[in-house]
């Protein structure tokens, strides 16, 4: 969920959450789970993958905009799933710990998400929940020293969310 930061989840994890079938029309509020995988190499974001199970279900890619605020990072997500798009708003609070000798950093975060609608079967979608994320960075060295002003060579993150969702209006 960070600018220029993307994450990767092992294919087995993402694949294990990829549901079969299509969206459930008019399902009552039920458990919702999702995994998002972000990765960036040499400053270039790779497609972010999402896999969701519950009333909102499917696998696809995610796009987002994020803004740092005094109370944390505010993010607008769009999940582009086979049956339609899903719109979400999220806030995140995260911490980072750096190891400048190794030129690496770890990040962990927690936050809340809200489904605000979508397209197709997700037009009236609602829902809310929480998420956690974990990631790592590999920095860039300049003359053998970790360059803290350079874009990281790699960033890899995994985000897991749980909550409830409803497709009825």
Q: What is the mean pLDDT of each run of 10 residues along the chain (169 residues)?
A: 34 35 52 96 94 96 89 89 96 92 95 96 96 96 91 95 90
Whole-number pLDDT of residue 27: 46
Whole-number pLDDT of residue 169: 60
- Specify the pTM: 0.78
Q: What is the tally of structural domains in the chain?
A: 1
d(CA 50, CA 15): 10
d(CA 19, CA 51): 8
Question: What tokens were used for 40?
Answer: 């960036």
Instruction: Look at residue 2 and tell me if it is in a domain.
Output: no
* Per-residue DSSP letter, 119: S
Instruction: Look at residue 5 and tell me if it is in a domain.
Output: no
Q: Which residues pair with 77 in a beta bridge?
A: 64, 88
Tell me how far CA of residue 89 lies from CA of 10, 46, 76, 98, 166, in angstroms: 25, 21, 5, 29, 16
Question: What tokens were used for 46?
Answer: 């790779």
Whole-number pLDDT of residue 49: 97
Question: What tokens were used for 58?
Answer: 């499917």
Tell me which residue range forms the domain holding 34. 11-21+29-166
* Per-residue DSSP letter, 153: S
CB–CB of 129/162 below 8 Å?
Answer: yes
Instruction: Look at residue 42 and tell me if it is in a domain.
Output: yes
């Amino acid at each position: 969920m960070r600018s220029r930061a993307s994450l990767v989840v092992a294919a087995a994890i993402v694949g294990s959450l990829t549901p079969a079938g299509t969206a459930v029309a008019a399902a009552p509020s039920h458990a919702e789970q999702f995994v998002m995988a972000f990765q960036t190499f040499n400053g270039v974001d790779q497609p972010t993958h999402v896999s969701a199970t519950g009333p909102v279900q499917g696998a696809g890619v995610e796009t987002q905009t994020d803004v740092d605020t005094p109370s944390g990072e505010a993010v607008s997500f769009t999940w582009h799933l086979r049956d339609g798009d899903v719109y979400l708003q999220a806030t995140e609070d995260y911490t980072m710990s750096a190891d400048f000798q190794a030129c690496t950093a770890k990040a962990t975060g927690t936050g809340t998400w809200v489904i605000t609608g979508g397209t197709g079967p997700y037009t009236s979608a609602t829902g809310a929940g929480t998420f956690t994320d974990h990631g790592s960075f590999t920095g860039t060295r300049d003359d053998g020293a970790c360059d803290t002003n350079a874009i990281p060579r790699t960033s890899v993150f995994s985000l897991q969310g749980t909550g409830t969702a409803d497709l009825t209006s």
